[in-house]
Structure 1
Amino acid sequence: MSPQTHINFTANPPKLHYKPHINLTTNPPQPLYKPTSTSVQTYINLTTNPPQCHYKPTSTSLQTHINFITNPHQPYYKPTSMSLQTNINLTTNPHQPYYKPTSTSPQTHINLTTNPSQPYYKPTSTSLQTHLNLTTNPH
């Protein structure tokens, strides 16, 4: 069973019933793994590129999955990051100006890993950022 952290989401304009969730898991599974992150934040910007004054994104259930793992494997590794940030932008391709993304579950995978030359490295970053753009294929 994966530990779950529920986060608060604010939008402009406000969306009252949006409930994103983040699962903290290990890969491979580690039965004694206990994630310690307590303040995961997700920022979601719904924009077009180039700007389109009538663009209305319809995504309502974006999900971000964050995995804490080591490479090579460290069975007692306990990540301590407390404020991971993910920025998700829904954008259009210039070749398709009327594209309106409707995906309801884009997923971003973030891995905290070690460099093989540093087997005892334990990442403690408090502001990892991932940018995800949903675009159309020009063809």
Structure 2
Amino acid sequence: MEINANKTSLHKGLKMERLRKLRGMTQSDLASKLGVTKQAVSKLEQSENISDEKLKEIAKALEVTFEGLRDFSEEKVLYNTNNFYENCGVTATNISSNIENIHNPLKETIEMFERQLQAARKELIEALKSVK
């Protein structure tokens, strides 16, 4: 079991795929940046070994460092994510208590149109009164 986990952690194609997905990219997106076909990206993602030269190209296309791609592991991502949130003081309570302070242009736009509608109604009522 541990041998498989070790083999997976060394699988460069799998690291490439995981980072591509974390970056929100499709195989086609990455293929376009690399100047290759989607099928070539798929083949790379299935490769256990990728040359350092090719890995550097892929890292640049994924907008990560070569070392970041080479040393990538999901455990590191989880560890760094947990430490980031623990050390910056962000909690669900902080987020929910500040949600009302977020600038909401849609709400402001609706309120503006409601004020304009109210003013138009008043003008219409005044115009109807003067006709009588």
Q: Could you state the TM-score of these two structures normalised by the residue count of structure 1?
A: 0.20
- Structure ID, larger Rg: 2
What TM-score results when the alignment is normalised by the length of structure 2?
0.21
